[in-house]
């Protein structure tokens, strides 16, 4: 399992140190780890912990406003696309291990 610290480090690294939504530098403010598919009980029941806690589901934003803009919970097509990326990535870890 990935702990929260690793999750933050990873998210910061892939964001290039800027807010994913507005592009503001993150070093000055208080960066917010934002879930694309919201971290709610309902979403955990629907998508599973693997999807909710996956680094692909976490973005980095500069503020609560930008945090909210990253939420795709209400966009079924975007959620399915994200799940597909996550499952493809996770499946690749098992390739060649049979």
* Contact residues: Zn ion, CB under 5 A: 19, 21-22, 24, 62, 66
Nearer to Zn ion, 61 or 83 (CB): 61
Name the minimum Å distance from CB 98 to Zn ion.
44
Name the minimum Å distance from CB 65 to Zn ion.
7
Name the minimum Å distance from CB 74 to Zn ion.
20
Give the C-alpha separation, 44 to 61, whole Å: 22
Nearer to Zn ion, 11 or 62 (CB): 62
Residue located via tokens 């209400």: 74
Structure tokens at 5: 């610290």
């Amino acid at each position: 399992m990935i702990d929260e610290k690793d999750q933050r480090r990873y998210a910061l690294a892939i964001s290039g140190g800027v807010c994913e939504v507005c592009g503001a530098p993150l070093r000055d403010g208080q960066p917010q780890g934002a879930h694309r598919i919201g971290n709610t009980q309902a979403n955990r029941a629907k998508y599973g912990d693997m999807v909710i806690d996956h680094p692909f589901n976490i973005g980095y934003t500069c503020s609560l406003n930008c945090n909210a803009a990253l939420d795709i919970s209400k966009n079924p097509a975007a959620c399915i696309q994200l799940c597909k990326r996550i499952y493809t990535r996770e499946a690749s870890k098992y390739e060649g291990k049979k």
